Homo-oligomer: A and B are copies of this chain.
Amino acid sequence: MNDPTQTKFTPRGDTHAIEEGLALQPKFDADGLIPAIVTDASTGEVLMFAWMDANALALTIETSVGHFWSRSRRALWKKGEESGNVLNVVEMRVDCDQDVVWLRVRVGGDGVACHTGNRSCFYRSVPLGSAPPAMLRPTGGPPRKR
């Protein structure tokens, strides 16, 4: 994992620079990681959520292919390297605090983003309106717009 001092990126400025500025100055947490939200560039469906260290973030920016830090394997993780289901990044955005990134992607290979074989990791919905414990409901795919 990279040193959280983030030598690859511009050092963090003040709140104004972070929120209004145009210099990318990502914040990595105490473990040197930043959360990454991955959505389907066409449907807007959230496909997965993972973490990046500074190296994975830099590689993703340079190559337009999603790279992450595997917390379980403690190693750089090029998503889809074995399965072929790589994440081709159409657009990357950063949030107000520059402590989260959002990748809009097209999934390569057979289009499956989840290790379970589902297209998206978010294949179950949580019923609303009653106290937990709640029983999940399988979903049939991307949510319908409503």
Least Cβ–Cβ distance between A54 and chain B, in angstroms: 9
- A75 is an interface residue with CB less than 8 A from chain B: no
- Contact B135 A93, beta carbon cutoff 8 Å: no
Say which residue of B64, B130, B136 sits within 8 Å of A94 (CB atoms).
B136
In the complex, which residue of chain B has the Cβ closest to the Cβ of A48?
B95
Say which residue of B35, B91, B124, B126 sits within 8 Å of A143 (CB atoms).
B91
Say which residue of B102, B131, B146 sits within 8 Å of A58 (CB atoms).
B131
- Contact A135 B23, beta carbon cutoff 8 Å: yes
A residues contacting B by CB (< 8 A) are 8-10, 19-24, 35, 37, 39, 41-46, 48-49, 57-58, 61-62, 64, 89-97, 100-102, 104, 114-116, 118, 121-139, 143, 145-146
27 interchain pairs (CB within 8 A)? Answer: A19-B116, A20-B116, A22-B136, A22-B137, A23-B133, A24-B132, A42-B145, A43-B145, A44-B44, A44-B145, A49-B95, A49-B100, A62-B130, A64-B129, A90-B146, A91-B125, A91-B128, A92-B125, A92-B126, A93-B122, A93-B126, A94-B125, A94-B126, A94-B136, A95-B121, A97-B121, A102-B122
